[in-house]
Amino acid sequence: MVVGDASLDIDVVVIGAGPGGYTAAAKAAQLGHSVIIVEKEELGGVCLNVGCIPSKALISVAHTYETMSHAADMGISANDVKVEFAKVQEYKNSVISKLVSGVGSLLKGNKVQVFRGEAMFISENEVRLFNEQESPRYRFKHCIIATGSRPIELKTFPFSGRIMSSTGALSLSEVPKSLVVIGGGYIGMELGQVYAKFGSKVTIIEGSDTILPGFEKDLTQLVSKNLQKYEVDVFTGAKAEGAEQTDKDVTVTFSVGGEQKKVTADYVLVTVGRRPNTDGDLGLDLLNMKLTDRGYIEVDNQGRTSVPNIYAIGDIVAGPALAHKAYYEARTAAEALSGMPSIVDYKCIPLVVFTDPEISSVGLSETEAKAKGMNVVVGKYPFSANGRAISMNATEGFVKLVGDKDTGLVLGCQIAGIEASNLIAEIGLAIEMGATLEDVYLTIHAHPTLGELTYDAAEMALHKMKKK
């Protein structure tokens, strides 16, 4: 109970309870601070509720459905395999519920106060929290802003009716007969492929020359090949121009190669990027906080903003909008405000796309390393030569290990294939610790496992180095 309008004292205020926010709050509390975290929606933020977790739940279900439907080569015949999408959504929601509950337990266990509502800065040391019942003021020593991001909404494709963002696509009540995806980045590709596996006729419209721009073509070509299996129509170098909705469908007009085309579908999913949540009523203008032209908060290598006792992490600072980047920045900021010399080092952020096949990348690609003038050696090994992959009937893909030919240092790795999301961690560790190709090769990998692929790729690279 707040008496009058006096300010309460707290060590740390965290605004936003997504992956960055709840991690920062828990870490700050573990370091001995009194902490309150503010969240206007659900604990866990976008990632747990309408992003990473629900999308991966649907991806897992779609993969199981596909496996059951096409397991005859492995001696399993399943007749009349059906998707009961209402139950699929129940399963997805149960996954979300478990993880959101876990976040609540984490905060409670670390004695972090949770305020359900919004926050607005009054000064660089004071914030007002408010909801429909109360509006207390808190005077803080430090603040961590972790307000996340939201999908970019195009003027010609406003989110309404049958035009939806990823949030809407994750909550459909039934599998659409047809779906147009505008944007062939990782979100569009993941969700587009999910619904294609469930039986939707999917059309993808991407402005760049290739799907999944930013990844090397030998990775994306495998995804493109699989899209053909599901009869997905992909238009690259295309521009979506407008849409006309009825009660039953929506028609998209787009141009490609100088020709105008139209496609009609049950729904349109727009996934053209995300926008940082820094333009609301948070009161950053009152603090004269420095922002970039794109609305990101400027921070130093500890996450400190232009207001020294206020930090910013996650999607509202420059860099990829990834939960694991937010976790990393959260720990750094909590340690920094506690006086520790922690700083961020972004040379080794893994990038993962949960398409079929999965693709992942960490460190430098071959192209990037050569652009930096490095003497590059590459070891590339196929899944089709790996015993575990063969036994799983999952032989599509490869591991490509990039090294410095002069020093032997591991520079990067790109993987396409089953479990690429898990395999990439080993090479991330190798880069962080300054390991060489020989270190990877001399590490005994269990047999038969997919992990042997990195060993084999390292051996291939070392063989090339010996042939100087």
Instruction: Determine whether the annotation assigns residue 23 to a binding site.
Output: no
Q: Residue for token digits 């937010």?
A: 326
C-alpha span between 133 and 117 (Å, rounded): 10
Residue with tokens 């002069």: 406
Contact 332, 342 (CB under 8 A): yes
Question: Is 189 annotated in some ligand binding site?
Answer: yes
- Annotation-wise, does 280 bind a ligand? no
11/203 Cα distance (integer angstroms): 51
User: Using the 8-state DSSP alphabet, how is residue 72 labeled?
Assistant: G
Q: Give the list of residues 6+ apart from residue 423 with CB closer than 8 angstroms, or none.
A: 360, 399, 415, 450, 451, 453, 454
Best CA proximity match to 416, nearest among 209, 191, 215: 215
Question: Any known ligand binding at 147?
Answer: yes
Phi, psi (rounded to 5 degrees) for 276: -65, 140
Longest dimension (CA), the chain: 79
237 is in an annotated binding site: no
Q: Are 293 and 286 in contact (CB under 8 A)?
A: no
Residue 148, marked binder: yes
Pick the catalytic residue from 33, 70, 447, 463. 447
Helix (H) / strand (E) element for 363: namely strand 359-363
187 annotated binding-site participant: yes
Torsions phi, psi for 94 (to 5 deg) = -70, -35
Torsions phi, psi for 395 (to 5 deg): -95, 5
DSSP 157: B
CA separation for the pair 363, 135 (Å, rounded): 46
* Half-sphere exposure in the Cβ direction for 15 (13 Å, CA): 29
Q: Hey, which residues does 235 pair with through a beta bridge?
A: 205
CB 138 within 8 A of CB 8: yes
Q: Is 447 a catalytic residue?
A: yes
Flag whether 75 is marked binding. no
Q: What are phi and psi of 358, to 5 degrees?
A: -65, 150
Q: Is 218 annotated as a binding residue?
A: no
Using an 8 Å Cβ cutoff, are 37 and 22 in contact? yes
CB-based contact 382:216 (threshold 8 Å): no
Report whether 190 belongs to an annotated binding site. yes
State which amino acid sits at residue 296. Answer: Y
56 is in an annotated binding site: yes
Is residue 200 a known part of a binding site? no
Q: What is the 3-state secondary structure (H, E, C) of 237-285?
A: CEEEEEEEECCCCEEEEEEECCEEEEEEECEEEECCCEEECCCCCCCCC
* Residue 372 marked as a ligand binder: no
Yes or no: say if 251 and 264 are a contact pair by the CB < 8 Å rule: yes
Ligand-binding annotation for 319, yes or no, is no
- Determine if residue 184 is labeled as part of a ligand binding site: yes
Residues at the annotated binding site?
56, 147-149, 183-190, 206, 273, 315
Q: Which residues are catalytic?
A: 447
Residues at the annotated binding site for FAD?
56, 147-149, 315
Residues at the annotated binding site for NAD(+)?
183-190, 206, 273
